[in-house]
Amino acid sequence: MKVAVVGATGMVGEVMLKVLAERNFPITELLVVASERSVGKILTYKNKEYTVISLADAVAAKPDIAIFSAGGGTSLEWAPKFAEVGTTVIDNSSAWRMDPTKKLVVPEINAHELTKDDKIIANPNCSTIQMVLALSPLHKQYKMKRVVVSTYQSVSGTGVKAVKQLENEIAGIEGEMAYPYPIGRNALPHCDVFEDNGYTKEEMKLAREPQKIFNDKSFSVTATAVRIPTSGGHSESVNVEFENDFDLAEVRKLLSETPGVIVQDNPATNSYPMPIFAHDKDEVFVGRLRRDETQPNTLNMWIVADNLRKGAATNAIQIGEYLVANHLV
């Protein structure tokens, strides 16, 4: 199994290598790939050193799987080139997510739809992944009508420059700014760029991607995405209206039986999900489960996950694991 990690020197790329090692992904040959300026750098995987190669050299090597985390422009240009030589691409950018010819996959929900013909597979947005994983069993049982989500997203979702900005502000150092304003002691209602409708790209990803993942347009999602001064882990306040009524005890049971979900929901012991506890974990944590008392069949919940792991690297690698286990590569 020849595996290429494209964007290996970036924040998510580093986590991908870490998760591949942790999960003992069946690699016989590893290619670490990055942009021209990083070619020749040395990266370590399982105590062995690897030299970063170019995208062109990686295509020429014809890997079985290429896991991309190198930005939308790179994915649009290079994913088809890998696909042409028979490589299955798992892409972490937004480039292919809403392409009707490409599948948008959260393995626990819709990996069964994948076939050998799927040569470019899209990994959903980090905020989408954690939300749909928690909503999936509830949608099956009660049928969602409308979801209102507000996110509390860490600076690591923006990248290294944003993490550095927060660290500099905490240390009282003036430095390069990833955001138009300070992020320390602040909350920015501005994730990604604004679109013509007044929503940001991040908010529209949350609105559009769940319908594609569930292959269901019978429900709608509206979102407000906010950047907060945490270094890692995204949190979401989710209000979901169902067509059918629910029992809270059954909701807890359904969630606790869902692979990849951990319920932390006991106000008496101050037990609830927080980014500090989700750090470096692959699960999605759900708590603060309570009825919305202002309208029928409506649930409030709080969802937290490590955005670099389940929100990006781990989800992509789980797609790869499914492909390998089902002989689709």
| Sheet of strand 298-305, all strands in order from the earlier edge strand to the far edge | 220-227, 144-153, 234-242, 298-305, 284-291, 261-263
Q: In DSSP terms, which residues pair with 227 in a beta bridge?
A: 153, 188
- DSSP one-letter code for 34: -
> Residue 210 carries which side chain, given as an amino acid letter?
P
- Three-state SS annotation for 142-193: HCEEEEEEEEEECHHHCCHHHHHHHHHHHHCCCCCCCCCCCCCCCCECCCCC
Nearest to 92 by CA among 178, 202, 12: 12
Distances (CA, A) of 244 to 138, 141, 218: 10, 8, 14
Active site residues: 126, 234
Could you give the CA distance from residue 296 to residue 157 in angstroms, rounded to a whole number?
35
